[in-house]
Structures are given as C-alpha cells and as structure tokens.
Amino acid sequence: MQVLEELPGILENLVTPLTKEQLETPYRPGGWTVRQLVHHIADSHHHSYTRFKWALTEDEPMIKAYGEKSWSKLFDARTAPIALSISYLKALHAKMVFLLKGLSKEDYEKCYIHPDDHSKVSVKENIGKYAWHSQHHCAHIQGLLKRKGW
C-alpha cells in the first residue's frame, strides 16, 4: 500500500525536471516515450481503481480489459502535458489508498475475473499487481535517466 501512496510523488520527481525532448525519448528501443509511459500509468491505475470498486460491489464481476498499446497511440498519450497525468495520479492514488485502508479483512479477499485468462484476482492481489506496476515503470524511467546521464 505504501508503494501506491508514494507513486505520484516519486513519478513527479522523476519526470518533472525533464525537457520536452527528453519526454519524447523512448525508455527503451521500440518502447513508449517517457510521456506515453506517464500517461499509461495514469490510464492503467484508473482501471485498477475501477477494478477495486467492481470487486467490492459485485459478485466476482468479469471486468473489461483495455488495449493499452492502442491507448498509448491516442493523441492525449502522445502529446498531453505530463502534469495532467501527475495531477490525476495524485488525486486517484489518494482516493484509492483511502478506500483500501478502510477495507475489512474479508474485503481484501473479494475478487474480479480477468477476461484474458478468466483468472480470479482478489483485491489483495490487485494491490500487489499495481504496486509492482508502479515500481516497474519507475524503474524504466530511472534506467533511462541513468543511461542518458540526465
């Protein structure tokens, strides 16, 4: 939960100092630009929050997956200021963490069904997935900064 709480600030510290040209740099060959990556994190964590809500309010609902690669090609992912997604992540994560900290032990075991493989994912597992997702993408950016000497 601490990772989810800290992500917006960590991400902001990593990307805010970057120039426009640096934001347009792919974090790896053939990968998303830093800008696309920041917007992807916001989009993905938006879905995570919705998945928590579905799991908590419905009986093992089948969620809707989204095409992250297609979303990353949309105009906003390619051109929007990163401040939009950073601000959104601050609000989203504050709300998400507030919700998660208020759950009962039983609530953490509630599940949703992922349509890709029909697996059951508990609220507790989803917290872990998105904590990993947070660290994973921050590591991508940190690796780029180190390689480029930024």
Q: Do residues 43 and 37 lie in contact, with contact meaning Cβ atoms separated by under 8 Å? A: no
For residues 111 and 62, the answer to whether their CB atoms sit within 8 Å is no
pLDDT confidence of residue 7: 97
Question: Looking at domain 2-148, what is its CATH homologous superfamily?
Answer: dinb family like domain (1.20.120.450)
Question: Which pLDDT belongs to residue 6?
Answer: 97
Structure tokens at 23: 């934001």
Distance CA 6, CA 107 (A): 23
Q: How many residues does the chain have?
A: 150
Each residue's pLDDT expressed in tens, for the chain with a length of 150 residues: 999 999 999 999 999 999 999 999 999 999 999 999 999 999 999 999 999 999 999 999 999 999 999 999 999 999 999 999 999 999 999 999 999 999 999 999 999 999 999 999 999 999 999 999 999 999 999 999 999 999
d(CA 130, CA 118): 19
**Domains of the chain by residue range:** 2-148
